[in-house]
Amino acid sequence: MCIGILGGGVWGSALARVLSQNKVKIYARDENIVKSINESRIHPKLKYSSFNNNVKATSYLKDIRNVKYLFITLPAQNIREVIEQNSLHNKNHNIIICSKGIEISSSKFLTEVFNEVIPYKSISILSGPSFSSEVSQNLPTAVTLATKNKKDFDNISKLIPNKEFRIYYSKDLIGTQIGGALKNIYAIAAGISHGLNLGENAKSALISRSFAEMTRYANKFKADKNTLFGLSGLGDLILTCNSTSSRNTQFGIKIASSKYDNFLDLLQSQEVTEGYYTVKAVYNISQKKKIDMPIMESVYNILYKQHDLKEELSNLLNRPLKDEKI
């Protein structure tokens, strides 16, 4: 059996190593990445992890059209333009979305984007606390795999004999997507807190109240609260907010540490920072659905309205006192 991975970044390549007891083909636009994988057996940005001979790369979508299982690891905002290409379409695909985000242009979850654009046999969400560099080195990792049909979970599980990469079952596709998408917003906030030297007390409070906002948001979509308390919600939030290895956290640190007139310059200087895009989609949705999300709004105001960081911090600290509840 051949497995396809749509996306040649570090996350797709880390998953390729997890799946490499099967034949794996990675689609990447960058010919340098394709050449590195095929000739040197490494991804240029995962130099401490090599591939076995089961892993190949291609720059042609048609080469992964006939795979049975297709793992999606593209940046969320790029997914629609790629999957719209007919050379990829196959109604027998079992789609596993491993990307995290919400489409800005439509304010839709990624499962909704796939429903609009592409035929498939089944669709699942893989999400949780999983830094690519650690996954690629076979360090212990646990994630959520959400799918409506338990049989699909069982079949996908069999593709991953690697005991260091443990997956837990959920049937809550929406809740699993919400946790994976929103934690990137709060990682930016955590990075700003770190950059401003606000201390560990502040970071703990930030993570706790961010989790409350995530849960309120999920409730509006009738997600299972247990999902948010699991790996794809609280687990991913804790990892991302507490580690300077996170691109989103690093982005927040750089915002707080330097003066930027244009965040696009900063975005282009590092790997894809999903939180920057996700916060715009979440802000628009929260306004329509009247969801109280003050930390998210502060991040949005800083990134898109050029509000002063310390002014936003003051606004948060001076909010009316209230009962602690989710």
The residues annotated as belonging to the active site are 183
The DSSP output letter for 106 is T
Q: How many CB atoms lie within 10 A of CB 260?
A: 13
Contact 223, 287 (CB under 8 A): no
Torsion angle defined by CA atoms of residues 325, 210, 278 and 152, in that order, rounded to the nearest 10 degrees: -70
Token readout for 174 is 């929406």
Q: What is the CA radius of gyration of the chain?
A: 19
Nearest to 46 by CA among 249, 321, 271: 271
Contact 27, 55 (CB under 8 A): no
N residues, the chain: 326
Cα separation, 156 vs 229, in Å, equals: 23
DSSP code per residue over 143-192: EEEEES-HHHHHHHHTT---TTEEEEEE--HHHHHHHHHHHHHHHHHHHH
Helix (H, G, I), strand (E, B) or coil at 322: coil
β-bridge partners, 119: none
CA distances from 272 to 37, 147, 316 (A): 21, 26, 28
Cα separation, 92 vs 90, in Å, equals: 5
